[in-house]
Amino acid sequence: MKNIIMLDKVSIIRDDVYIVKNIHWNIKKGENWAVIGRNGSGKSFLLRVISTIIYASEGDVTIYGEKPGNTDIWELRKKIGVVSDYLQREYYDTISVLNTVISGFFSSIGLYHTATDEQIEKSILILDKLGISHLSHRMYGQLSQGEQKRVLIARALVFDPDLLILDEPTTGLDIASREDFLKLLSKVISFGHNIILVTHHIDEIIPEISDILFMKNGSIYESGKKSSMMKPKHLNRVLDFKFKVKKKHGRYWAAL
């Protein structure tokens, strides 16, 4: 299968400090990845490089055959949808859900453009596909955290991106809402999108996740197919905590 993302010797430096160091990471079409690592291990910075929000300080980045500094970044961004806590916090309270989704077409936080009929229709269709069209006319700020996250997924899907990047998307969700959200992710994958999911909870690694990247202190500790990665010996070392790993219903659960 074809590589869609290729990172070669990628580093990110801020204030003379290596935040991310010497990353080799290839993502192939059809793969779904989970990224796991302790707070501050560099996960969000690394994913910002793939989302083309920041440039790598060193190394070689290829995204869908393009080099981010060397191509039309807006065209490239259409291939990658992003949902993050940051986006959820920064979003305006007084915008309708439908306009929130439409704003995805302009990559803006808030809507400052007049949408075409086609853009409006597409946004309505996505809300419907995700089963949240009943929220369309509600104000974003009035929604629960779980509802807001669903709306942001809809926003991220307006260009039918090949890849959806989710940085800790389940923060703040209760157990039932989290399970609903994970079902939604499975649905999104079944529509043909691939995902990269950053999570602190191994039980969020849904069966569709095929590959795992472990980050530790800004470097890759290990990466590869899920079955060989999800072993206590790796997880205990990456997370600096001793626990057992149980597999049930195709998911992994931490037990003390």
Ligand X SMILES: Nc1ncnc2c1ncn2[C@@H]1O[C@H](COP(=O)(O)OP(=O)(O)OP(=O)(O)O)[C@@H](O)[C@H]1O
At closest approach, how far in Å is the CB of 220 from ligand X? 12
Contact region for ligand X (CB under 6 A) — 38-46, 95-103, 187-195, 205-213? 38-46
* Residue number, 107 or 171, with CB nearest to ligand X: 171
Indicate which of ligand X, Mg ion, none lies near residue 77 (CB less than 5 to 8 Å, by partner kind): none
At closest approach, how far in Å is the CB of 168 from ligand X? 6
41 binds ligand X (CB under 6 A): yes
Mapping DSSP to helix (H, G, I), strand (E, B) and coil, where does residue 78 land? coil
Largest CA distance in the chain: 55
Strands of the sheet with 33-37, listed across from one edge: 80-84, 163-167, 194-198, 33-37, 211-216, 219-225
The residue within the footprint of Mg ion, chosen from 11, 44, 100, 103 (CB under 5 A), is 44
* Residue number, 167 or 211, with CB nearest to ligand X: 167
169 binds ligand X (CB under 6 A): no
- Other Cβ atoms less than 10 A from the Cβ of 96: the count is 16
Count CA atoms within 13 Å of residue 141 on its CB side.
7
* Residue number, 17 or 176, with CB nearest to ligand X: 17
Residue 119 and residue 100: Cα distance in Å, rounded?
Answer: 12
Strands (E), the chain: 3-14, 17-28, 33-37, 58-63, 80-84, 163-167, 194-198, 211-216, 219-225, 244-248, 251-255
- Classify burial at 105, counting beta carbons within 10 Å of its beta carbon; exposed 0-12, middle 13-18, buried 19 or more: buried
44 binds ligand X (CB under 6 A): yes
Indicate which of ligand X, Mg ion, none lies near residue 14 (CB less than 5 to 8 Å, by partner kind): ligand X
Contact region for ligand X (CB under 6 A) — 14-22, 95-103, 141-149, 245-253? 14-22
37 binds ligand X (CB under 6 A): yes
Which residues make up the interface to Mg ion (CB under 5 A)?
44
